[in-house]
Amino acid sequence: MEGDLDAKIELLLNLEKQSRLGGDVAATKKSVIEIIQLCFQAQAWKTLNDQIVLLSKRRGQVKQAVTGMVQQAMEYIDETPDIETRMELIKTLNNVSAGRIYVEIERARLIKKLAKIKEEQGLIAEAADLMQEIAVETFGGMAKTEKIAFILEQVRLCLDRQDFVRAQILSRKISTRVFDADTSKEKKKAKEGDNLVEKAPADIPTLQELKRIYYELMIRYHSHNNDYLEICRCYKAIYEIPAVKEDPALWTPVLRKICWYMVLAPHDPMQSSLLNSTLEDKNLSEIANFRLLLKQLVTMEVIQWTGLWETYRGEFESEKTMLGSSFGDKAADDLKQRVIEHNILVVSKYYSRITLKRIAELLCLSLQEAEKHLSDMVVAMSLVAKIDRPKGIVCFQTAKDSNEILNSWASNLEKVLDLVEKSCHQIHKETMVHKTALKV
C-alpha cells in the first residue's frame, strides 16, 4: 500500500513540475492538493508533513498552490488520530506559512489552534506568548469579527496569566465604536484591485456577542484594582446590548451589578451622571429596593450606616453567588466609606461652619475617624474645607484668591452704578412729570 502511495505521489509530483514550469497555475494547484488528499486518505501523516515542506520549497512555487495546500491540510487537523500528530501537523503548516503574507490569515488560525492545545495542557504562559506573536489588526483580508475575536483571545490569556499591563495594551487595539456599527447596511461591492475580505469562520461569534465578551474581560481587568466606576460602565454597556435588554432574566442581574458598583464608586461628575440616568430607567422599578438605595444617594440627607447595612446586607452577600464578577474583600469597607463621604457632602451643603464634634455625631464616628475621612476628601479634591483644630471648628467656605475677590468687587461696583443710574433716571422722570403738571 505504501509503495502504491509513493508511486502515485511521484506521478503527481512530475505533473506538478510540468505545470509549474509551464506556468499553468490552476493545474499546479490541483496537483498539489491531490498529493495532500492522497496522504490523508492513506493516513500517512509523516508523509503528509514531508510533502507539505517539499512542495512549499520547490523552485518558483506559485502562491496559489501554497495557499491551496495550506488550506486543504488545515481541514485535516481535527481528523488527526492523537494530539502529537495534530501538533506536528500544525507546526509544519506554521513553519510553511511563516513569512508568507498571502497565507497570514491561515497562520493566525493555526497559532490560535496551537495556543488552545497549550492551554488545555495547562501551559497558559506559552499559549499567551504564541498568541502575542500575531498582530491581526494589520491583516487587511481578515474579517472584522475574526480580528476582534482573536484580540479578545489574546486579552483573555494575558488576564489568565495575571499580565494586566499587556492585557490593557491589547484591549486598546479594539475601538468600542466598532460594536455600535450598523451591520444592517449592505456592503459595497468590491472594486477591481481592492483587497477581498475573507468570510469569518462559522465558530466566530457575532458582533454583539463579541461586545459582551469584550466588556466581561474589561470587568476582569478593572476588578484587579477595584476600579468600581469603570466596572459599572462595563456592566452598563452589557446592559445596553439588545439581546440582554429584551430578556428580564438577563438584564436583572446586570442591573443589580450596575447599582452596586455605582454605589461603591467614589463621588465624581461621571458617577453622578450615571446615577441620575440609571434612576430614570423604567426597569429599575422591577427591583424597587435598589431604586430606593440609589434614591438615598441623590437625596441630600444623612444616611444612617447601621440601618442601611441591616437592610441591604443580605442583597450584598448574595451578589457573590451570582453570575459576573464577585466583590472583592474590600467591598464592604468601601461601601461604608462611600456612605460616610455622602454624609460629609450633605453636611457641607447645609453648613458653612460646624464643630468637628457635631460632624462626628452626625456621622456616628469618633472625632479621629471623622477628621480622617474629612481630610481624605479634601486631599482627593472632592471637598473644600479647613479645620481649626484648637477650636475644633470645620469651615466649608471656599477660599477665594485675589482674582476672584477683585472680580466680585468689580461686579458689585457695576451693580451699584447701575442702581445709581436707574435712580437718577427715575428722579429725572418724576421731575419732568411734575414740571409739566405745573404748566397746565
pLDDT at 321: 57
Domains of the chain, by residue range, sit at 1-97, 205-350, 351-422
pLDDT at 28: 85
pLDDT at 214: 92
pLDDT at 152: 92
Class at the top of the CATH hierarchy for domain 351-422? mainly alpha
Q: How far apart are CA 290 and CA 272, in angstroms?
A: 16
pTM of the model: 0.78
Residue ranges, the chain, pLDDT below 70: 1-3, 181-196, 320-329, 398-400, 436-440
**Strands across the sheet with 393-395, in order?**
353-355, 393-395, 386-388
Q: What are the CA-CA distances from residue 411 to residues 336, 398, 403, 405, 406 (Å)? A: 43, 19, 12, 10, 9
pLDDT at 436: 59
